[in-house]
Structure 1
Amino acid sequence: MEYVWRQKPKASQSAIERLGKEINVNPTLANMLINRGVESFERAKDYFRPVLGQLHDPFLMQDMEAAVNRIEQAVLNNERIMVYGDYDVDGTTAVALMYSFLRGFYTQVEFYIPDRYKEGYGISERGVRFAAENDVKLIIALDCGIKAIEKVALASELGVDFIICDHHTPGDTLPAAVAVLDAKRADCNYPYKELSGCGVGFKLIQAYAKRQRMEESTLYGYLDLVVVSIAADIVPISGENRILAYYGLDRINNIPRPGLKALILQAKVEKDIQISDIVFKIGPRINASGRLEHAKASVELLIAPNLDEAIERAKLVDEVNSTRRNFDENITKEAFEMLVLMEEDAEWKSTVLFKNDWHKGVIGIVASRCIEKYYRPTIILTESNGKATGSARSVVDFDIYEAIAECADLLDQFGGHKYAAGLTLSVENVPAFQRKFEQVVSGRIEEVHRKPVIEIDDVLLLDQINYKFHSILKQMAPFGPGNTEPVFRISNVYADEVTVLKDKHLRFKIVQDGQVTTPVCLGFGMADRAKDPDLTTVNMLRGKMRFDIVAEMRENFFRDKSSLQLYVKDIKFD
């Protein structure tokens, strides 16, 4: 795939010099910080040393008072409470958080995760009726429910109250729940709008603890769950999320709950766990049971009382994840074959694929794989319970939720946010939806959205790549959307010691003005990149052709020894 390299704007020289002097950093770091909104000593202190005391008052969230009052009433009257959540990582971590917190002082609590295949996404009629039949009087819904108007009304008829904790975009009408906690509500003045579903759940337990005069430190043990949700749900790591992620990573690296410790061991994650480790190694394992079987297994793992039990549960989850990878690979291959045929007919600006026997649990992953190859808004559909159901994924800065909303006349239901959404429609409507979605995307998408962009923080010389510089970069973590990992351009170099790993990855060193790097460069999946058979990346590197690279600087640990490495994102030859 061809990338567009975009240099981030350079701050004014006076601003760079002022910040550099105030916090004693070099001009490169000062410019990077200014581009992240860190323009003064005070902002730098908050950025590098966030404190939990900076978390917003949870009672600033609309309906929080009503939510806490209803939980107090339930506890006082010894009512049964059901904690209900979605089957993805955000939902299962949120359920584990709320269930564990309530069970710490109250026994009349159970949890419920809908079956992806029998009930589908969000609040289900089956779940509501199950609650009523089992004498549940209050459902606390997490990471779902913002559009469950009919299901909440049904619950009310059956004598069951709802508290909704969601972070998805609301519709024009809110469910008639006792409380609807969602910072994206038009009438909600909560200062931060980008919490994860688990993050909204954390604000609820924070509010309850505050009302009950509990020690706030008792809540810090739940931050390992919150950071997993933040990473896996790809919400911005800015503002309040940055504080929660910062302390969540500290927790997960030092005293994680047994379930997460077992997953860390199963995934063989080395020391110094970062957001990327959660995204690629821990999150997929938690997701796996909900994708292929039932997410109840993931919640049971996350609330496991001891490491021995957690390890046994983690092994089962890992086996399911291996099966998930096989489904993922096979369906992705079929999707690519369909896309090749589509490309023969027309130049599409969107991708909508449907096959009735694809596994519902992995279509979101397949959508992401299609974007990696074709880079355009993508929806993958399969058949479930007589309906076409799908997962949507988007490209940078294109709002796929709004595009889907314009096709609402063809849909039974949909929900989500800017970069990811889910939808259900009649199978016979799929061709019409494919045409209309393509029309909507073609009218909305701009040329700048057609190719992936690599944002470059600054240009580095080889002698700037050292542990001292990297030690400051590490303190800018946690990295993710809203605070991306620094990317640097290194220009006019050639390669030395080029090797190919596993027939697809590149390992080499680079030379600039006669100086060879100490850090090794790693280019994952770059060995077979080629414009023609004679111009493979390997051949051009070995031929001492001059090139520029963009790369991230990382520390690698192997056998208790650390080394700096450059993770190459792209190469451009002269």
Structure 2
Amino acid sequence: MRQKTQRRWRILRRIDAESRALAETLGIHPVSACVLLNRNLTEPAALQHFLNPSLESLHDPYLMKDMDKAVARLRQAIDGQERVMIHGDYDVDGVAATAMMVRMLSALGVDVTHHIPHRVDEGYGVSAEGIRQAAANGVKLVVTVDCGISAYEEALLARELGLDLIITDHHQPPPAFESQIAYFGAAVAVLNPNRPDCGYPFKGLCGCGVAYKLATALVENLGHPGNALQRAYLDLTALATIADIVPLRDENRAIAQFGLERLSDTKKPGLKALMGVCGIAGKRLSSYHVGFVLGPRLNAAGRLDTAETALNLLLTRDDSEAGRLADALNQLNRERQEEESSTLQDAELMIESGADALGGDILLDSDKALVLASEDWHMGVVGIVASRLAERYVRPTILITMGEDEGKGSGRSIRAFDLKKGLDGCADYLVGYGGHAQAAGLTVTRGQLSQFRARFLQVADEQLGADDLIPVVDIDCELGPRDLTFELVNELRRFEPYGHENPGPVFAIRGAKLLDQCTVGANGKHLKLRVGFWEASYDALWWRKGDNFGRFSRHQLLDLCFSLDINEYQGIPSMQFVVKDVQPS
């Protein structure tokens, strides 16, 4: 495998007069002040909101366009005892939103059913088959969650079949959104803070967050207190908010922080069982536990099989069924990991050989993007593998699972390239596509694969410079040995939960002496260093970097890029580094 390009360290801020002044004002460490300033938190109101989030600060749901129409139609369904279907999506966001709406409407006495498309058989978005099933089963109202903003044809189909449709979504509307007048006529309401004509003050809600706003407005319209909804469903909303990697700013910060508290003490049997099989029951949950422990297991169902397993886990009220479903998800996650590893190895071999399985050329020395295709990949894992490859090779990456006539692809990008806009420039060669700046999905015919690949590489070449392909790690500030205190680590915990647009603080320290090293984990997957300054020494864990064992020699001086953590072993706390990068001093 070719050598990775050395990462460029970018020190975002030094401890200076501004950071010292903020530290004095807030009574915090100057390092903590640097972190806040790097998050563009300078105004008193923004700092207050960030440091002291409150559920009372959540925005009024009725600021979202069409909220009044959506609530009125749901009231009509409740009063008329109509059958309602919730149409979700197969990722954590869509499954959690579906579970929340089904639970809430059931509690209100509504005859409610649901539909989540099968990833392989139906694909992403509102399913025409699901709409037909709804009509055949006596449904009068369909409410989409985490999907539907591009569902023009499906909205018209619903109208033809006599179904009313409420769309709730958070994805960016397609370019033709405003011109689709028939689409507005086919839907009773379209709730999406990213609608160009929506004045909702925060655009970063996930799909479950939008559904939570609808649920809040409906419950309050029915005369129930809003805090009852918070107690019941904030755990699901926080789960989706963190797992969907939306910005943990504004009201998402309050949803995530207080939702994690609810999640830690959840009464839902499925979530309790899943935390049990993961070994995190009773722990203080953080965004890490959602993003890397719970989320992957819930996502595994929709990736490899059907998301119904994950949904049933979130809906069940039976402890024994919850245990069975949690075990099934845990097993699916192991299978997902195996499938992912195999696909990653296959893709890397293609990159090194210079051609993919369908004969497409891969010229890593000249191409500024990667487009790989194979008939053998499971479409449920290509997005994860694309993310790994984009990080490793510092290029926008698209992996396509090719069927007989057309292929389904998933892409991940680098910070310098907006993937959704990049695909806009390739629309003539695609059956369909959608997504965000950093992640997107697409469908392409076998006959147009080579034209799409050529055009996408051309777009990437036009937009990316050589410097964009050099990996950069952002560092909040440099530390000295005297800064390494438990007080600082505990102070930084006030800034949790970490996530998109509020990343965990990253620091650098120079001249650490390497005292010892060893590999840890299955097959020596991870590297554990012991480094020292003067009389103090610390463990430094470098995840997935076991192959770096022996790269540095004993007593060599190293510069470390890392985040700080406290490890508690047998009740004894010790400070440790979670390493991002290591370079010789």
Coarse TM-score class (shorter-chain normalised): over 0.9
Deviation at 1:383, TM superposition (A): 2.5
Counterpart contact for 2:78–2:110, Cα < 8 Å? no
Deviation at 1:16, TM superposition (A): 2.7
Counterpart contact for 2:84–2:110, Cα < 8 Å? no
Q: Which of 46, 49, 59 in structure 2 is aligned with 1:46?
A: 49
Cα separation, partners in 2 of 1:357 and 1:73, compared to 1, 3 Å: same
Deviation at 1:526, TM superposition (A): 2.6
Task: With the length of structure 2 as denominator, give the TM-score of the two structures.
Answer: 0.93
Counterpart contact for 2:351–2:364, Cα < 8 Å? no
Equivalent position amino acid for 1:3 in 2: R
Cα separation, partners in 2 of 1:101 and 1:74, compared to 1, 3 Å: same
The residue aligned with 1:265 is 276
Equivalent residue runs for 1:76-225 within 5 Å: 76-171=79-174, 172-173=176-177, 175-176=183-184, 177-220=187-230, 221-225=232-236
The residue aligned with 2:343 is 331
Deviation at 1:39, TM superposition (A): 2.6
- 3-state SS in 2 of match to 1:330: helix
- 3-state SS in 2 of match to 1:538: coil
Cα separation, partners in 2 of 1:111 and 1:560, compared to 1, 3 Å: farther
Moved over 4 A (4+): 343-346
Cα separation, partners in 2 of 1:11 and 1:27, compared to 1, 3 Å: closer
Deviation at 1:564, TM superposition (A): 2.1
Equivalent position amino acid for 1:568 in 2: V
Larger mean Cα displacement after TM superposition, 555-564 or 446-455: 555-564
Aligned length: 563
Counterpart contact for 1:19–1:40, Cα < 8 Å? no
Asked whether 1:243 is paired with 2:264, we answer no
Deviation at 1:22, TM superposition (A): 2.2
Question: Whole-Å Cα distance in 2 between the matches of residues 120 and 528 of structure 1?
Answer: 38
Asked whether 1:516 is paired with 2:520, we answer no
Counterpart contact for 1:367–1:392, Cα < 8 Å? yes
Counterpart contact for 2:82–2:110, Cα < 8 Å? no
Deviation at 1:492, TM superposition (A): 1.5
Deviation at 1:447, TM superposition (A): 3.6
Counterpart contact for 1:396–1:452, Cα < 8 Å? no
Deviation at 1:559, TM superposition (A): 4.0
Q: Which of 496, 500, 507 in structure 1 is aligned with 2:515?
A: 496
Deviation at 1:264, TM superposition (A): 1.2
- 3-state SS in 1 of match to 2:119: coil
Larger mean Cα displacement after TM superposition, 520-529 or 60-69: 520-529
Q: Which of 270, 277, 300 in structure 1 is aligned with 2:289?
A: 277
Deviation at 1:384, TM superposition (A): 4.2
Task: With the length of structure 1 as denominator, give the TM-score of the two structures.
Answer: 0.94
Q: Quote the RMSD (CA, aligned, Å).
A: 1.8
Question: Whole-Å Cα distance in 2 between the matches of residues 521 and 169 of structure 1?
Answer: 40
The residue aligned with 1:286 is 298
- 3-state SS in 2 of match to 1:122: coil
Counterpart contact for 2:149–2:171, Cα < 8 Å? yes
Asked whether 1:232 is paired with 2:237, we answer no
Question: Whole-Å Cα distance in 1 between the matches of residues 165 and 84 of structure 2?
Answer: 10
1:437-459, Cα deviation, whole Å (9 max, x unpaired): 00001111234431332111111
1:308-332, Cα deviation, whole Å (9 max, x unpaired): 3211111111111111111111111
- 3-state SS in 1 of match to 2:440: strand
Q: List gaps (5 residues or longer) in structure 2.
A: 355-361
The residue aligned with 1:534 is none
Asked whether 1:253 is paired with 2:264, we answer yes
Question: Whole-Å Cα distance in 1 between the matches of residues 236 and 440 of structure 2?
Answer: 23
Q: Which of 414, 434, 457 in structure 2 is aligned with 1:438?
A: 457
The residue aligned with 1:551 is 562
Deviation at 1:91, TM superposition (A): 0.7
The residue aligned with 1:5 is 9
Question: Whole-Å Cα distance in 1 between the matches of residues 509 and 525 of structure 2?
Answer: 23
Counterpart contact for 2:395–2:414, Cα < 8 Å? yes
Question: Whole-Å Cα distance in 2 between the matches of residues 367 and 331 of structure 1?
Answer: 10
Deviation at 1:251, TM superposition (A): 0.9
Equivalent position amino acid for 1:516 in 2: A
1:6-61, Cα deviation, whole Å (9 max, x unpaired): 11134861x33432222211222222212223335554332122110100001000
Counterpart contact for 1:19–1:41, Cα < 8 Å? no
Counterpart contact for 2:89–2:125, Cα < 8 Å? yes
Equivalent position amino acid for 1:310 in 2: A
Q: Which of 402, 410, 414 in structure 2 is aligned with 1:395?
A: 414
The residue aligned with 1:532 is none
Deviation at 1:348, TM superposition (A): 1.6
Q: Alignment identity in percent?
A: 36
Question: Whole-Å Cα distance in 1 between the matches of residues 280 and 46 of structure 2?
Answer: 33
